[in-house]
Amino acid sequence: MAEVPIEHGLLLAAVLFLLGLIGVMVRRNIIFILLCLEIMLNAAGLAFIVAGSRWGQPDGQVMFLFILTVTAAEVSVGLALVLHLHHRFKTLDADAMSGMKG
């Protein structure tokens, strides 16, 4: 068992999350944006696991399972949308798809 201080686990989650956030802000390719979203979601899951591990309780893992579920649903719909958008705009540039605005 890795007796790691909880702060280290949480910091790792935060770093991963922020890397994902940077990716979302920087990348223009929708595929990359989705990948970065995955990173962020996974980082959130990591934070849950770390917290659950701190108390030796299953709740953190349960939360991770829920995140996994949400991710699966998000990815299936998201990728279907990507296919659709690529078909329509002939590009994956997120900036090119700014038609739906206020």
Site for another protein in 77-96 (CB under 8 A): 77, 79-84, 86-88, 92-95
Under rule CB under 8 A, which residues in 16-75 are in contact with another protein? Answer: 16, 18-29, 31-36, 38-39, 42, 46, 49-50, 52-62, 64-66, 68-75
The alpha carbon dihedral of 79, 59, 52, 2 has a sign of: negative
Residue 98: φ, ψ to 5°: -110, 25
* Region of residue 50 (phi > 0: left; psi between -120 and 50: alpha; otherwise: beta): alpha
* Least distance in angstroms from the C-beta of 77 to another protein: 4
Total site size for another protein, rule CB under 8 A: 82
* Least distance in angstroms from the C-beta of 54 to another protein: 5
Length of the chain: 102
